[in-house]
Each structure stands twice: as structure tokens, then as C-alpha cells.
């Protein structure tokens, strides 16, 4: 149940982020759920491999290369999900930053309501 709730909250964050950015397009809320699920899978499977392989460059850039990896995950999700389009790397980078902000804010809200 917790996974489904997090998936739906992530889908809302994806939908809002795509609505804000003109370089990102998503067809419907259904595709937002699919994108949230694909991003979760990519973050579980692919991202740790990329982080491990890029440890030297991540150290040299003081961790900023992790932003590049996040943008690549967004672009890969755009290639996998047909109803999700990201124009280029820079839109993917901005999408990942705003999505992280929304996810943080939505996560903070849900923790506030759970404690009461």
C-alpha cells in the first residue's frame, strides 16, 4: 500500500513538473504513473551501476556529476515511455531538479499528516 501511495505521489510530481516545463511533455496521468514506475526501476537498477562506474568523475566534480546521472535517467525514461517526451539534456536536468523539489515537498507533507 505504501508503494502505491508513493507511486501516485511521484506521478503527481511528474505531471506537475511536466506542466511547468515547456521542454517536457506528458500525455496523461496514466503515462505519469508509468513514468514514475520506470524512474523507480531505473533508480533501483541502472543508477547504482552508473554511480559506481563514475566515482572518479563524481569525486573530481564534488558530486555535481550526480546531477548529470539524474538527467540521463530522465532522458532514458523518455526513451522507454512513449507518452513522455524530453526535448534535450538541459530540460532533463531542470526536470530532475524540479521533480526532486516536488518529491521532497510532497514527502514532507505526507510526514506531517502521518504524525498527527
- 505504501: which residue's cell? 2
pLDDT value at residue 24: 95
| Assigned C-alpha cell, 12 | 503527481
- Among 96, 42, 99, 21, CA closest to 66: 96
Q: Which band of pLDDT confidence, cut at 50, 70 and 90, is reported for residue 108?
A: low
CB 98 within 8 A of CB 20: yes
What is the per-residue pLDDT across 24-66, written as a single tens digit (0 to 9) for each?
A: 999 999 999 999 999 999 999 999 999 999 999 999 999 999 9
Sorted by where each begins, the domain ranges of the chain are 2-105
CA angle 97, 80, 4 (to 5 degrees): 70
CB 39 within 8 A of CB 73: yes
> CA torsion, points 77, 85, 11, 22, in degrees to nearest 10?
140
Report the distance separating Cα 96 and Cα 69, nearest Å: 10
What is the per-residue pLDDT across 72-106, written as a single tens digit (0 to 9) for each?
A: 999 999 999 999 999 999 999 999 999 999 888 88
Report the distance separating Cα 88 and Cα 37, nearest Å: 21
107, pLDDT greater than 90: no
pLDDT value at residue 109: 54
Report the distance separating Cα 17 and Cα 33, nearest Å: 13
Amino acid at each position: 500500500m505504501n508503494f502505491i501511495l508513493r507511486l501516485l505521489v511521484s506521478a503527481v510530481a511528474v505531471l506537475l513538473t511536466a506542466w511547468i516545463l515547456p521542454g517536457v511533455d506528458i500525455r496523461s496521468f496514466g503515462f505519469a504513473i508509468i513514468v514514475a514506475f520506470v524512474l523507480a526501476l531505473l533508480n533501483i537498477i541502472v543508477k547504482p551501476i552508473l554511480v559506481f562506474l563514475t566515482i572518479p568523475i563524481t569525486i573530481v566534480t564534488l558530486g555535481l556529476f550526480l546531477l548529470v546521472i539524474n538527467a540521463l535517467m530522465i532522458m532514458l525514461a523518455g526513451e522507454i515511455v512513449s507518452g513522455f517526451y524530453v526535448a534535450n539534456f538541459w530540460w532533463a536536468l531542470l526536470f530532475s531538479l524540479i521533480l526532486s523539489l516536488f518529491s521532497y515537498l510532497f514527502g514532507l507533507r505526507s510526514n506531517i499528516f502521518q504524525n498527527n
